[in-house]
Amino acid sequence: MSECERLRADAPGLAALPADAPERLAAWAHASGCAACARALREAERLQALVAARERPPLAAGSFEWASRAIIAELRREARRRMFASIAAVSVALAAFVGFARDRSRAAEDWAWAAVLGALALVLAAAARRRAPLALTAAVLAAVTAAMATGRPGPLAVDVGVRCLTMEIASAAMVVGAVWLAIRGGTTSPARAAVAAAAAAGALAGDAALQVTCAARDAIPHLLAFHVGGVLLAVVGASLLWGRRGRSFARGASPST
C-alpha cells in the first residue's frame, strides 16, 4: 500500500486526533503536496465537525436520582416479598405438621419447647437474607439446646428417625420453595448463604413440630441424630443444590455475561 493509499484509509482516524498530534501534522505535511490526500483529510475533518456539533438532548433534571430510587424501591419490594414468603411458609409448615399429626404430646414442657422453637424459626426466616450466618448458627444451636434439655438416655429409633428427617427436610423445602416463588422473575436471586439460612429456619420449624409429635422425642440419641441432624442436613443440602444451580446457570450463560 502506497503512502497516499494508507493516508486516505486512515483519514477519519487522523481527523479525530488532536490538532497538534504528530501523526496528524505529518499527514497534513504530506497533503500539502498531494491534492487527493488533502481532500480526503478535509472531508474527514468536516465529518468530525458535524459529529461534534450534534448535541445530545440533555437528560431531564433528576433522571439519575429517579432511576436510583426506582431500583432501590424494587429491590426493597423483592426483599419484603422474600421475607413474608419465608415467614408464611414456616407458619404453614408448623401448623400443618402439628395439625395433621395422629399423636400429639400432652406435656406442657413439650408444647413450650415447640412454641420457643417455632417462634425462633419465624424470627430466623425473617432474618435469613440479611443475617444468614447468624441465622444458621442460631438454628443449629437451638436444635442442639432443645435436644440436650429435653432428651435423656434412650433408643436411637431409626424407623421413627427417618420420618423425622423427612419432616424437617420437607419443611425446609417449603420455605426455600416459597422464597423462590416470591421473587421468581424478579431482578434479584438469593445468595447461597441466604438460601441455606432459609432452609435452616424451615428445618427448625419442623423440629418445633416434632417436639410434640415425635414418638421418640425424649431419647437424646434420637434427638441428636435425627432432629439436630435434620437441621444440618437441610442446611448442607440447600447450600449444595443452590450452588449447583448457580454453576449450571454460569455454564449456560454466554461468555460476555
pLDDT at 58: 63
pLDDT surpassing 70 at residue 53: no
12-28 mean pLDDT: 79
CB atoms within 10 A of CB 168: 32
Choose the weakest-confidence range: 5-14, 96-105, 107-116, 225-234: 5-14
Residue 93 pLDDT level (bands cut at 50, 70, 90): very high
pLDDT surpassing 60 at residue 185: yes
pLDDT in tens, 193-202: 889 999 999 9
Q: How far apart are CA 211 and CA 51, in angstroms?
A: 75
SS3 label, residue 255: coil
pLDDT surpassing 60 at residue 251: no
Q: What is the mean pLDDT of the chain?
A: 83
pLDDT surpassing 70 at residue 221: yes
CB atoms within 10 A of CB 33: 8
The alpha-helical segments, DSSP class H, found in the chain are 3-16, 22-31, 35-53, 63-99, 108-127, 132-150, 158-183, 192-213, 220-222, 229-252
183-201 mean pLDDT: 80
- Full-model pTM: 0.68
CB atoms within 10 A of CB 5: 10
Percent of the chain residues topping a pLDDT of 90: 42
Residue with cell 441466604: 194
Per the model's pLDDT, the better-predicted residue between 95 and 50 turns out to be 95
Contact residues for 155 (Cβ-Cβ < 8 A; gap 6+): 216, 219, 221, 222
Cα–Cα distances in Å, from 199 out to 71, 132, 202, 241, 253?
28, 11, 5, 11, 27
Could you tell me the three cell numbers for 56? 445530545
DSSP state of 60: P
Residue with cell 437441621: 231
Contact residues for 252 (Cβ-Cβ < 8 A; gap 6+): none
Residue 222 pLDDT level (bands cut at 50, 70, 90): very high
Phi, psi of 219 (to 5 degrees): -100, 115
Please choose, from the candidates 132, 94, 101, the residue with its C-alpha nearest in 3D space to the C-alpha of residue 242: 132
Per the model's pLDDT, the better-predicted residue between 7 and 162 turns out to be 162
Sequence spans of domains, the chain: 3-53, 79-252
175-179 mean pLDDT: 89
Contact residues for 55 (Cβ-Cβ < 8 A; gap 6+): none
pLDDT in tens, 25-48: 888 887 887 888 888 888 888 877
pLDDT at 207: 95
CB atoms within 10 A of CB 170: 17
pLDDT in tens, 115-150: 999 999 999 999 888 888 999 999 999 999 999 999
Entry field: residues in the chain: 257
Residue with cell 435425627: 226
pLDDT at 257: 33
pLDDT at 28: 81
